[in-house]
Amino acid sequence: MLYKMYINGEWHKGNGEEQNVVSPVNGEVIGQIPLGTAEDVDLAVKAADASKHLIENMTVFERAEILNQIADAVSKRQQELAELLTREHGKPITEALGEVATTAQAFREAGEQIKWMNSEIIPTRDKNKRAFAYRRPKGVYGVISPWNFPLGSASTYYIAPGLAAGNAIVWVPATSTSAVASEFMKCVEETDLPKGILNLVIGRGPVAGDALVVHERTSAIGFTGSTKTGEIIHSRAGAKSVLLELGGNGPTIVFEDADIEHAATSLVDASFVNAGQICTSTERVLVHESVADGFAEALMERIENIKLGDPFDETTVMGPVHNANTAETVADHVKDAVIKGAKVLSKTCGQEWPTEMYVEPVIVDYVTKEMKLNTEETFGPIIPIVRYKDKDELIELIESSPYRLSSAVFSRNTEKALKFAESLKFGFVHINEASNYWETQIPAGGTAGSASGYGRSGGRASIEEMSEVCTVILSMTGENKDE
């Protein structure tokens, strides 16, 4: 089966080659995708540019109605979308069903949020002047989305709020999860969204993605993915508006007065969701040395409940990682840590798996500052424990990584935890909660100047980022003017 592109309301085979879609679950080829070219991107951008006035001129209530239509169509296809998502990505079917439900929710929420984002009247010194500020769409918005949440991230961060704001969109998803993106577009096809407003181009980042970024008719770019790719996009976008959520290696800090049992439960529950393939996942745990032994034991007790296996088995907690690169990175980072003196606590079960992407969950203790597990983003099912002695060493450890996306603090002393959280320069900080906890209406993003990106996504924040303020100044003249 060929999972086609969707351009200007028509299904499109593209002008390039085709590529097999290989499932990480069992190595099965489940179909093919076209590899779009710069010409395909040009066709999509021009269609979006020609149609953008249709959505820009809609009332927010008309846009909201269409967003609800998309949500209804997604909900109707929830099971089939989730099954394809699991086959193509590898995440457990229970997680896939949740992601599809979140996708539908994103469109409903954006439809509600845009209704209540009021304009403002700005006070003026001149009593005969009136200044009005309102939000308008940026135009043609290019969206390049990641493979870890192929529907959830794309819809929540960009597509739903982008349409709510009145933009026309050209979407280039990660090639490795483009099949489910193509199936998602069948939901869009069922609605009253005008042709050309939302277009899907499937293709490799250096080809289709780059063509989208540099196209003269795209006004803005949204991207979620690696820091390296984000930096390339930023440099190629020139003066265009960019919204970037990039890598994360934020610390989870466990103070000596923390509830160790609660902290361990929170981290195990969160660290292995999506096989740890979340930019806000617990990448490193900085634990005070006085409680580190007890904390490690508590983690070990709980990791036994993380069942790795067939993602279509509803009792499975963790499926395979998505690709070989992730599996290799996990192995490389663990090897680096062991060579430098760290200790692997968890043990493999010795079972033979259908593909090399079945990476067993692992805890690594005695990780030190110079190890890759501390300084780099692993993006896999692993909990590194870094022991610290005092506050000075803790701050040094926090600063040893360039990422500033999400972090967490565990302490029974709420005042102490809050003060420390406020001192951390991260996009968002959790207190007595794992670093990957998030709800779709909460602003998320990295701290400016860090390796974690720029801007805020989620709810009203996405709508604000994907629109701009226009100010109109009216001069009262003639009979309307005050004497």
Catalytic residues: 245, 279
The half-sphere exposure of 317 on its side-chain side, counting CA atoms within 13 A, is 18
- For residue 98, count other CB atoms closer than 10 A to its CB: 16
Q: Taking a C-beta distance cutoff of 8 angstroms, is the pair 342, 367 a contact?
A: yes
Strands of the 284-288 sheet, one edge to the other: 343-344, 362-365, 382-388, 284-288, 251-254, 406-410, 428-431
Can you list the positions of beta strands (E) in 167-239?
168-172, 198-200, 220-224
Element (H, E) at 295: helix 292-303
CA 5 to chain centre: 22
Find the DSSP H helices in 305-438: 324-339, 372-375, 391-399, 414-423
Burial class of residue 126, CB neighbours in 10 A (0-12, 13-18, 19+)? exposed
DSSP assignment of 51-120, as one string?
HHHHHHTS-HHHHHHHHHHHHHHHHHTHHHHHHHHHHHH---HHHHHHHHHHHHHHHHHHHHHGGG---E
Q: Taking a C-beta distance cutoff of 8 angstroms, is the pair 198, 145 a contact?
A: no
The CA R_g of the chain, rounded to the nearest whole Å, is 24
Tokens encoding 453: 């990106």
Burial class of residue 362, CB neighbours in 10 A (0-12, 13-18, 19+)? buried
